[in-house]
Structure 1
Amino acid sequence: MADTLSALPLPDLAGFTHRWIEVDGVRLHAVEGGRAAGPVVVLLAGFPQTWWAWRAVLPDLVRRFRVIALDLPGQGHSDRPRGNYDTHTVAARVEAAVTGLGVAEFWLVAHDIGAWVAFSLALNHQQRLHGVALLDAGIPGITLPESVPTDPGRAWKTWHFAFHTVPDLPEVLLAGRERDYVAWFLQAKALAEDTFDSAEIDHYAAAVAAEDGLRALLAYYRDAAESGRRNHDALGRGALTVPVLGISSSHGSIPDMAASLSPWAENTRGVVIPGAGHFIPDEQPAAVVDAVTAFIDHG
């Protein structure tokens, strides 16, 4: 599958090196940069993005930290394996990939479905984490709504959760129309419609359209019920003890991430970033850097 992805344009970012790590026969792509001896920060992006979602955050973070931005399975230049995309399965691959990069302990920062994976990773590998920051995401089985509202004023934020779980139909309707679909998310869910330029939309749409990318990304939603069940099983052993930062935005999907997570985590704090919709790292990157840096400094 790596060969079929080789034709997908691979953007470079000054000061960062592309890395590929094989985990259980699945190649995952990451970019890495920053201070070799600094604290390690691992970044996970959400739907419909890739590691490039952090492009405006990375240059500031590397001044103090060693930073790794990882493409989840199905994203960007990572493989799109068949099989389970429940967040515990994916989290195990992410944890193994970070280990493969020589990292023992790290801070984890994640958005959207990346936050789904990060929450499950924290449940299973708290000993590896200094802390986890989760940006604007409902967590399966925890804070993700089980039903979609029918009021148009609210339904536009969550309607896709149901659509993505329908077998086969999204692929039939979206094949060949990936750019239109991706553009809707990026333009409708950002506070300013011009947050993403045409080239950025092209980048994300090409990644979704490449070799089973659409099928793989839909699988996160189709396996969300299993992710929720496994989250609850893990929480049966006890709440999260690792520090958790909930990052919300003034116009995002989850008004108060910290409040939504606090029943499941013993040490939770929150911040609300103004002037942003759902795509906070793209819309207010400096504020994200400040929030993450303060979280790490607080320890």
Structure 2
Amino acid sequence: MKRLISALAALLLAVGVQAATIEDHSATANGVQLHYLQAGAGSDTPVVLLHGYAETSHMWLPLMDQLADRRVVIAPDLRGAGGSAKPDGVYDKKTLAQDVHALVKGLGHRKVKIVGHDIGLMVAYAYAAQYPDEVERIVLMDAFLPGVGDWKSVWLLRDLWHFHFHGQTALQLVQGRERIYFEHFWNDFAADRTHSLSEADRQFYTAAYAQPGGMKAGFGYFKAFEQDAADFAGFARTPLKQPMLVLTGEKASGNFLIEQARLVDGKVEGVVVKGSGHWLMEEAPAQTIPRLVDFLNRR
């Protein structure tokens, strides 16, 4: 990880941009060991960045550099991913949000702005729903909210099979073939499979999920959807009040997530990123990163 962070810094310096110092850390939060990246300092409200499936905190490196000039930026690996612990059992998003909240509190922060992509957006929403007075702004990026509105009609349900792809047989099928499995997501969820994740990132994430317990934990995110749907239906009965930005890919969730978000928050700013699929940070950084920075820098 440190080698990859150093490579990013070198690249930014080569084009005349002073890179922020991004550090690796680990802490016990909610009884789980969590790895997290941290950068920045300043008086602005800290920002928490939550990755999705088939990625880790590594996805946020370019954004962390853009946000770290005026506040602390924290990007954890969710329970079960990357350098974090991979315990058996609980992977519902309400509990994952409690993990992140315990990490934030342990670092001495109360108020945060929170961003989530894919599975991470579900964790971000669960965080804001459980701790509404501690979230100033929230960003949801391309996926959907289980249990909210007509969620079973979302485009991702064309891949319903992988929501139920778990257990011993599934694990045996993907062992040693993790990249073949993930290529489906990186390629087919992109607007253009030749303009999706880089080769270096594909190797990085494959190795991360191929660690002992990694694939089982990843499958657990989807296995928990039934519980997530019940939890989120309950959360939605009390709408959020903080400003929310929703970024979606034109070739991915489109307007669906924006419409869902308006069922749970009265201050939604929705943006469909033109020409992009699901991987907004990688497919359309020139559209995505400035939108995020502008929204998160507002007071």
Relative to the length of structure 1, the TM-score reads: 0.87
**Gap change, CA 1:138 and 1:110, over 3 Å in 2:** same
The alignment partner of 1:210 has SS state of coil
| Kept in 2: contact 1:256–1:272 (CA 8 A) | no
In terms of mean alpha carbon deviation, does 257-266 or 218-227 score higher?
Answer: 257-266
Q: Is 1:12 paired with 2:12? A: no
Q: 2:293 is paired with a residue of what secondary structure?
A: helix
1:66 aligns with 2:65: no
5+ unaligned residues in a row in structure 1: which ranges? 1-7, 149-153
Q: Partners in 2 of 1:273 and 1:167 — Cα distance?
A: 32
Match of 1:222 in 2: 223
Q: Which residue of 2 aligns with 1:158?
A: 157
Task: Tell me if structure 1 keeps the 8 A contact 2:241–2:265.
Answer: yes
- Counterpart CA distance in 1 for 2:132 and 2:143 is 20
Does residue 1:269 correspond to 2:262, yes or no? no
Following TM superposition, by how much is the alpha carbon of 1:213 offset from its aligned partner in structure 2, in angstroms?
A: 0.7
Distance 1:129 1:210, change over 3 A: same
Q: By how many angstroms is 1:147 displaced?
A: 6.3
SS of equivalent to 2:24:
strand
Structure-1 residue corresponding to 2:192:
192
Q: 1:290 to 1:181 in 2, by over 3 A?
A: same
Is it true that 1:39 corresponds to 2:38 in the alignment? Answer: no
CA shift, 1:59, in A, is 1.8
What is the distance in 2 between the residues matched to 1:254 and 1:72?
Answer: 26
8 Å contact 2:148–2:236 — kept in the other structure?
no
1:78 aligns with 2:75: no
* Secondary structure, aligned partner of 1:12: helix
Question: Contact between 1:61 and 1:289, CA under 8 Å: does it hold in 2?
Answer: no
Gap runs ≥5 in structure 2: 10-20
Q: CA RMSD in A?
A: 2.1
> Structure 1, residues 39-63: CA drift from partner, whole Å, max 9, x if none?
3111001011001111222222223
Tell me the number of residue pairs that the alignment of Structure 1 and Structure 2 aligns.
Answer: 284
Shift of 1:214: 0.6
Pick which of 257-266 and 104-113 moved more.
257-266
Amino acid of the structure 2 residue aligned with 1:220: Y
- AA paired with 1:226? Q
> How far, CA to CA, are the matches of 2:93 and 2:254 in structure 1?
20
Task: Give the distance between the partners of 1:143 and 1:95, measured in 2 at CA.
Answer: 26
Q: SS of 2:33's equivalent?
A: strand
CA distance change for structure 1 residues 200 and 185 in 2, over 3 Å: closer, same or farther?
same
